[in-house]
């Protein structure tokens, strides 16, 4: 029975990140009905999405810092509670402005999820298990993305679109109740080694640390690739591949399933390498190097003739992203430990969200005035570039605790 509680906690984190991606996707599926009911135009829909992204970007950093101060249990619990209440409130809207406010509130909750998840894993798992644990924690998001379309359509058709928001919100609140009652730091649960409370690393010291800045730069460069896959692929398939919207729904889950599998597999491989005597530095970089190499296949998406091959290459890109992001977040925890991980993960998420906000209009200009071709080339080259930056500026992934302690 040893260690059962911490693995139960990890499963709960998996469910939380799944709810995170599921809840944010409900609007994109139900918006057709909502637009008709409230007579919303596309500009207003864009404002609603921007409202979410602004709070989401801010709360990646703020939520990460708060989690650093109060711990993973409190941080993740409050995040899930806030976005679950926000999701349920979507189901009772009667105006554009209410939807704008509730969407902002959803971003407030969801922004703190992944820093809190990373903090929880760093608190409960040793370095030789951490990549696999992070893979499971992050993998829930991909499964949530896979389940969102069919579940939302089923609930909406059966009970109305409002219940597509209310039911996941209620599930999230029930999750919080279960999360609170798990005795993960109780003296009666010796299978969990209590984490020694350390002073959180100074926010300014993190921002002035070269390694932290490199991690932020990498996320800034790569997140637009992920946002491109999430936001633009349906349009690409429809406009460039003549795939109907109904067929898109039957195809789009495949890349996200590949992502979920690789989140877990990438972490398992990395931990297996360390258990076989390979250093943490080499193990993380081997898997990330494999990921960077696999992403080169994205360059061929535009040139293949069949939709099946195109989806296969997109799935390979997302598979590679799963390898990368799991080891990227684990590398942050390897370097900054329990008193800095959620802050750096939070800052990196904010950097990625800001990058997405800046790049998305540029993507639209490229598509409108040229084609998708250069975008697929960029998708294929960005991960190798990021990997070279990692090798150059972080020659060794190792704890910076002593260095940062001296700077307090």
Cβ-contact 125, 70 below 8 angstroms: no
Does residue 257 register a pLDDT over 80? yes
pLDDT for the residue numbered 191: 44
Could you report the per-residue pLDDT of 17-55, keeping only the tens digit for each? 999 999 988 888 788 788 889 998 877 877 888 888 889
- Find the mean pLDDT for residues 293-311: 96
Higher pLDDT residue, 217 or 370?
Answer: 217
Could you report the per-residue pLDDT of 261-289, keeping only the tens digit for each? 999 999 999 999 999 999 999 999 999 99
Portion of the chain with pLDDT greater than 90, in percent: 58
Cβ-contact 113, 75 below 8 angstroms: no
pLDDT for the residue numbered 158: 92
As a whole number of angstroms, the distance between CA 61 and CA 38 comes to 34
User: How many angstroms from the chain centroid is the CA of residue 201?
Assistant: 23
As a whole number of angstroms, the distance between CA 229 and CA 219 comes to 15
CA dihedral 283, 284, 289, 290 (to 10 degrees): 70
Instruction: Give the pLDDT band of residue 81 (cuts 50, 70, 90).
Output: very high
Joined together, the tokens standing for residue 72 give: 């993973």
Report the mean per-residue pLDDT for the chain.
88
Does residue 128 register a pLDDT over 90? no
Portion of the chain with pLDDT greater than 70, in percent: 93
pLDDT for the residue numbered 25: 84
Length of the chain: 408
Q: Is 92 strand, coil or helix?
A: coil
Joined together, the tokens standing for residue 173 give: 């609140």
Of these ranges, 179-183, 267-271, 399-403, the one predicted with the greatest mean pLDDT is: 267-271
Nearest to 255 by CA among 206, 207, 314, 200: 314
Does residue 56 register a pLDDT over 80? yes
Higher pLDDT residue, 178 or 193?
Answer: 178
Nearest to 382 by CA among 218, 231, 194: 218
Question: Helix H segments across 242-372?
Answer: 245-251, 253-275, 280-294, 307-336, 341-369
Q: Is 196 strand, coil or helix?
A: coil
Cα distances (Å, whole numbers) of residue 31 to 97, 103, 216: 15, 13, 33
Place of tokens 């990498």: 218
- The predicted model scores a pTM of 0.82
Does residue 197 register a pLDDT over 70? no
Within 10 angstroms of residue 142's Cβ, the number of other Cβ atoms is: 26
As a whole number of angstroms, the distance between CA 58 and CA 75 comes to 15
Does residue 255 register a pLDDT over 50? yes
């Amino acid at each position: 029975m040893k260690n059962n509680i911490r693995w139960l906690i990890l499963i709960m984190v998996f469910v939380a990140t799944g709810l995170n991606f599921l809840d944010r996707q409900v609007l994109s599926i139900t918006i057709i009905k909502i637009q008709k009911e409230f007579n919303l135009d596309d500009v207003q829909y864009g404002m609603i999405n921007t409202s979410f992204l602004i709070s989401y970007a801010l709360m990646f950093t703020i939520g990460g810092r708060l989690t650093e101060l109060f711990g993973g249990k409190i941080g993740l619990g409050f995040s899930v509670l806030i976005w679950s209440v926000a999701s349920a409130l979507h189901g009772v809207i009667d105006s554009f402005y209410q939807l704008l406010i509730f969407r902002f509130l959803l971003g407030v909750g969801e922004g703190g999820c992944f820093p809190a998840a990373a903090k929880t894993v760093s608190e409960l798992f040793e370095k030789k298990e951490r990549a696999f644990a992070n893979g499971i924690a992050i993998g829930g998001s991909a499964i949530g993305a896979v389940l969102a379309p069919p579940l939302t359509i089923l609930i909406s058709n059966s009970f109305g679109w409002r219940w597509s928001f209310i039911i996941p919100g209620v599930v999230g609140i029930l999750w919080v109740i279960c999360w609170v009652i798990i005795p993960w730091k109780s003296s009666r649960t010796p299978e969990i080694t209590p984490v020694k409370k350390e002073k959180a690393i100074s926010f300014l010291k993190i921002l002035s640390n070269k390694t932290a800045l490199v991690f932020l730069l990498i996320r800034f460069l790569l997140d637009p690739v992920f946002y491109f896959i999430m936001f633009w692929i349906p349009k690409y398939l429809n406009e460039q591949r003549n795939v109907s919207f109904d067929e898109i729904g039957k195809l789009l889950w495949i890349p996200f399933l590949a992502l979920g599998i690789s989140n877990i597999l990438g972490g398992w491989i990395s931990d297996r390498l360390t258990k076989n005597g390979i250093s943490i530095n080499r193990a993380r970089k081997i898997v990330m190097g494999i990921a960077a190499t696999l992403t080169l296949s994205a360059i061929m998406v535009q040139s293949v003739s069949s939709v099946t091959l195109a989806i296969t290459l997109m799935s390979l890109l997302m598979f590679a992203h799963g390898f990368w992001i799991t080891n990227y977040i684990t590398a942050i925890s390897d370097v900054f430990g329990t008193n800095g991980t959620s802050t750096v993960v939070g800052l990196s998420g904010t950097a990625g969200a800001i990058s997405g906000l800046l790049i998305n209009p540029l993507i639209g200009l490229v598509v409108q005035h040229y084609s998708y071709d250069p975008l697929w080339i960029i998708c294929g080259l960005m991960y190798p570039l990021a990997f070279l930056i990692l090798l150059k500026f972080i020659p060794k992934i190792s704890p910076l605790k002593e260095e940062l302690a001296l700077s307090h």
